Amino acid sequence: MDGATDAAFSAHLLRSDGQEDLCFAMWRPSTGFTRTTALVQNPLLPIARERQVHGNASFNSEYVLRAAREAGQAGKGLAFAHSHPAGSGWQVLNSGDALAESRIANVARELTGLPLIGLTLAGDGAWSARFWSGKGRAVRPVGCESVRVVGDGLRITFDDSLLPVPGIAATQIRTVHTWGERTQGMVARLNVAVAGAGSVGMAIVDALARTGIQRLGVFDFDTVELVNIDRLRGASAFDAYVLRPKTHVARRLLEEGSTAAEPSHELHELSVCEPDGLRRLLDFDLVFSCVDRPWPRHVLNTIAFADLIPIVEGGLSAFQNPDRSLRNGYWSSTVVRPGRPCLVCLGQYDPALVQVERDGSLDDPSYIENLPADAPVRRRENVAALSAMVTAALLQQFVAFVARPSSFGDPGPLRFSLRDHTIERIATTCDPECPYAASGGVGDARLDPSARHLRAEEARKHRAHPPFRARIVRALDDVVRGLQRFIGRLAS
């Protein structure tokens, strides 16, 4: 749920007199490749005589039917939330609560076509949740792995029985000393994706792996080229010669640098613009946007609002004097989420160019040559040192968002000036008619931003048929690296 929904629930359910309370709400599904997320929204508070508070709380059938009908008419599912004011952390479903929810479950499915979502709010603000599966007498609760609140910070409550807190390894001692075991336990269990394994993305992958995050996903369809070597961490001219995918370089960084006890990393030679790439992206809790084209930014901008998946985004611009010396450089960073401006309203990409990229024009040299010299899609400036600054700015946003130092969350959009050494807070808000902001929590009902991506297909096809000599060299290198990994495991 977003922060506003969480605040509305808390204001009603956590009463000043310490008694339990309840209410209904609506939800929409967001379906990824391996997981389904319930996007909870629209609390339906009780009206006169629909519920009674007497230490515990109870409701009448009129309240259930009203809430279920409203949810069904809106094309959404029904959620039932109640509070445990004296509780803390994830709440185990007790027999009384299970009986109450089971009585609602069949009505909810009958009137909405979707299963009931049961929610419990503890006194410390921690949520727990379950789906009610099946019909009739066979209805039963299926526990959720986590509940995520996307507000000024990312608050996640985990069911430790489904996703246990990982142990602290010797390689993580300094990290834990910095922000404590509780924060490390949350950060380590995050599902984090990096979209784009370029100069910034590869450095982000390395930093997150060393932080101890158990599940990292890397999405990039491109191949290492010689022009990448001056700024692509972990890559060499040899990788360019054998047409190595960037995801293979990312795999090396993950294998060499991960401090997680049981890492489960995913490398996808996919564009996030492809249907399969988008579906897999929806399995993650947070995404780093390290892409520089309109279409993938459009995809990420869409899911930030429609699927409540926060996107850590940044950009770099460098400007030259007439003699080609450096005049100034700017880099920006933000967390894209409900309550913050979208990437279009921030001016990070032109939505008119999304279709231009989809039809392949941005890969047509003649089209690019006819664009103005200062057009963003023509800019190619990048230096390893400047990329490192963008990386630091994105990681700064990430740490602020998930660790919330002194209870402060993300600072909002920031812009850094290299010449003046200043940081500017960008006060932009979304346009009142912004379609992204208006799509908050629609999940699977979003307009599909994905399609067949010819450039990604061509890149994979090109790698599949390298010159014979490159194939032989690549195979020998894979054998050597396999032996190195085996020796490394023996040593550890």
Please check whether residues 194 and 279 belong to one and the same domain: yes
Rounded Cα gap, residues 250 and 206, in angstroms: 8
* Last residue in a domain, options 138, 158, 178: 158
pLDDT of residue 411: 95
What's the mean pLDDT in 3-22? 97
Instruction: Give CA separation, 12 vs 5, 8, 18, 441, in Å.
Output: 11, 7, 12, 21
What's the mean pLDDT in 203-230? 95
What's the mean pLDDT in 344-367? 88
pLDDT of residue 361: 84
Bridge partner residues of 413 (DSSP): none
Which DSSP letter does residue 148 get?
A: E
pLDDT of residue 473: 74
What is the length of the chain?
A: 492
CA 294 to chain CA mean position, Å: 18
Which DSSP letter does residue 169 get?
A: P
Residue 351 lies in a domain: yes
Can you read off the two tokens belonging to residue 331? 């880099």
Q: Residue 372 — pLDDT band, cuts 50, 70, 90?
A: low
Please check whether residues 67 and 149 belong to one and the same domain: yes
Residue 475 lies in a domain: no
Of 474 and 431, the one with more pLDDT: 431
Rounded Cα gap, residues 213 and 184, in angstroms: 9
Please check whether residues 201 and 151 belong to one and the same domain: no
Asked which of 128-132, 269-273, 369-373 is least confident by mean pLDDT, the reply is: 369-373
Does 224 have pLDDT greater than 90?
A: yes
Can you read off the two tokens belonging to residue 172? 């993580």
Q: Residue 368 — pLDDT band, cuts 50, 70, 90?
A: low
Does 462 have pLDDT greater than 80?
A: yes
pLDDT of residue 136: 87
Q: Residue 483 — pLDDT band, cuts 50, 70, 90?
A: confident
Does 24 have pLDDT greater than 80?
A: yes
What's the mean pLDDT in 388-409? 95
Residue 252 lies in a domain: yes
Please check whether residues 100 and 215 belong to one and the same domain: no
Most confident of 34-43, 376-385, 465-474: 34-43
| CATH for 29 | 3.40.140
* Last residue in a domain, options 158, 174, 200: 158
Does 13 have pLDDT greater than 90?
A: yes
Q: What domain range includes position 239?
A: 190-462
Closest-CA residue to 206 (of 168, 244, 251): 251
Rounded Cα gap, residues 391 and 204, in angstroms: 6
Mean pLDDT of the chain: 93
Amino acid letter for position 402: V
3-state secondary structure 198-226: CHHHHHHHHHHHHHCCCEEEEECCCECCH
pLDDT of residue 165: 94
What's the mean pLDDT in 224-238? 91
Rounded Cα gap, residues 146 and 28, in angstroms: 16
Does 487 have pLDDT greater than 80?
A: no
Residue 241 lies in a domain: yes
Q: Residue 465 — pLDDT band, cuts 50, 70, 90?
A: confident
Closest-CA residue to 142 (of 153, 152, 155, 129): 129
Asked which of 129-138, 324-333, 369-378 is least confident by mean pLDDT, the reply is: 369-378
Residue 225 lies in a domain: yes
Asked which of 110-119, 138-147, 180-189, 470-479 is least confident by mean pLDDT, the reply is: 470-479
Please check whether residues 261 and 113 belong to one and the same domain: no
Please check whether residues 336 and 422 belong to one and the same domain: yes
pLDDT of residue 377: 61
The 10s digit of each residue's pLDDT in 101-117 is: 999 999 999 999 999 99
pTM above 0.85, yes or no: yes
Can you read off the two tokens belonging to residue 219? 């999405």
pLDDT of residue 376: 63
What's the mean pLDDT in 165-175? 91
Q: Residue 7 — pLDDT band, cuts 50, 70, 90?
A: very high
pLDDT of residue 480: 74
217: left (phi over 0), alpha (psi -120 to 50) or beta: beta
What's the mean pLDDT in 185-214? 96
Does 27 have pLDDT greater than 70?
A: yes
Please check whether residues 397 and 268 belong to one and the same domain: yes
Could you give the number of structural domains in the chain? 2
Please check whether residues 104 and 244 belong to one and the same domain: no
Q: Residue 474 — pLDDT band, cuts 50, 70, 90?
A: confident
Please check whether residues 107 and 243 belong to one and the same domain: no
The 10s digit of each residue's pLDDT in 59-113 is: 999 999 999 999 999 999 999 999 999 999 999 999 999 999 999 999 999 999 9
Please check whether residues 147 and 194 belong to one and the same domain: no
Please check whether residues 148 and 203 belong to one and the same domain: no
pLDDT of residue 468: 66
Contact (CB, 8 A) for 108 and 133: no
Radius of gyration of the CA atoms of the chain, in A? 24
Rounded Cα gap, residues 247 and 197, in angstroms: 7
pLDDT of residue 443: 97
Bridge partner residues of 114 (DSSP): none
Q: Residue 381 — pLDDT band, cuts 50, 70, 90?
A: low
Residue 269 lies in a domain: yes
Please check whether residues 127 and 220 belong to one and the same domain: no
Contact (CB, 8 A) for 243 and 462: yes
Amino acid letter for position 149: V
